[in-house]
């Protein structure tokens, strides 16, 4: 008898425990409030995506002194799959980077949590390269050749911050390293 493999696929409108923890840290609100916010998000964006137009309006509500160009630039920098919309995870990244009231350490922890896609408490070279690419997008950096290649940058960052020697960065190594290395901090976090 052949067993069928059951694959659980995540719906774009689900709120995972990891996302809940990131939002709790980013917004300093309770789980109940976040779940209410997520329910409203799903109600407002039933397919789990924020359109470009909706994001521009949301961005201008959050940053009243901004203009359409700034909102579009922000969207382009956090739209990591370049589909012209924001998924809930991409929105989480935006929340983490722009968290009001969060100190540098808290923001670095949130960024780490968002990019630790394997949930193993470590950033490997591939995960870190995706983060570097997103930061390049956010900063409008087009030249990604040679020593500016995201994988080369990720390898260099790991060689600088990996205290344990496992060729991965733990959350503690990431936060401490970003705090002490100004170049890495400027690349990964907008102050």
Note the Cα 38 to chain centre separation in Å. Answer: 17
Indicate if 32 and 70 belong to the same structural domain: yes
**Hunting for tokens 């509500």 — which residue is that?**
61
pTM above 0.75, yes or no: no
Range of the structural domain that residue 168 is part of: 115-189
Q: What are 170's strand-pairing partners? A: 122
**Sequential pLDDT tens for the chain (191 residues):** 555 555 445 566 778 888 788 777 766 677 887 787 777 778 888 888 888 888 888 777 776 776 777 777 777 767 777 788 887 767 766 766 666 566 778 778 877 877 787 878 899 998 888 888 877 766 667 888 988 898 998 999 899 889 889 999 999 999 888 888 777 777 666 55
Domain termination residue (choose one: 64, 98, 132): 98
Q: Are residues 34 and 78 in the same domain?
A: yes
Query: For residue 172, what is the enclosing H or E element?
Result: helix 171-180
Choose among 63, 54, 128: nearest CA to 98. Answer: 63
Q: Give domain status of residue 12, yes or no.
A: no
| CATH number, residue 84 | 1.10.238.10
Of 20, 90, 16, 96, whose CA–CA distance to 52 is shortest?
90
Same domain (yes/no): 141, 78: no
Instruction: Identify the domain boundary among 69, 98, 127.
Output: 98
Asked, for residue 105, whether it belongs to a domain, the answer is no
Q: Is residue 24 within a helix (H) or strand (E), and if so which, with residue range?
A: helix 17-27
Report how far residue 86's alpha carbon sits from residue 74's, in angstroms, rounded to the nearest whole number. Answer: 11
Structural domain total, the chain: 2
Cβ atoms within 10 Å, residue 107? 22
């Amino acid at each position: 008898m052949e067993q069928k493999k059951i694959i659980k696929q995540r719906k774009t409108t689900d709120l995972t425990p990891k996302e809940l923890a990131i939002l709790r840290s980013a917004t300093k609100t309770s789980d109940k409030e976040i779940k209410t916010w997520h329910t409203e998000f799903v109600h407002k964006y039933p397919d789990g995506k924020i359109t470009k137009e909706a994001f521009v309006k949301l961005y201008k509500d959050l940053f009243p002194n901004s203009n359409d160009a700034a909102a579009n630039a922000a969207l382009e920098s956090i739209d990591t799959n370049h589909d012209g919309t924001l998924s809930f995870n991409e929105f989480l990244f935006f929340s983490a980077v722009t968290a009001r009231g969060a100190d540098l350490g808290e923001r670095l922890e949130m960024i780490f949590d968002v990019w630790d896609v394997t949930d193993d408490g470590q950033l490997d070279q591939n995960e870190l390269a995706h983060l570097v690419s997103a930061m390049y997008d956010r900063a409008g950096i087009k030249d990604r050749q040679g020593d500016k290649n995201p994988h080369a940058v990720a390898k260099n960052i790991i060689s600088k911050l990996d205290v344990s020697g496992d060729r991965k960065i733990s959350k503690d190594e990431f936060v401490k390293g970003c705090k002490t290395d100004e170049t890495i901090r400027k690349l990964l976090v907008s102050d």
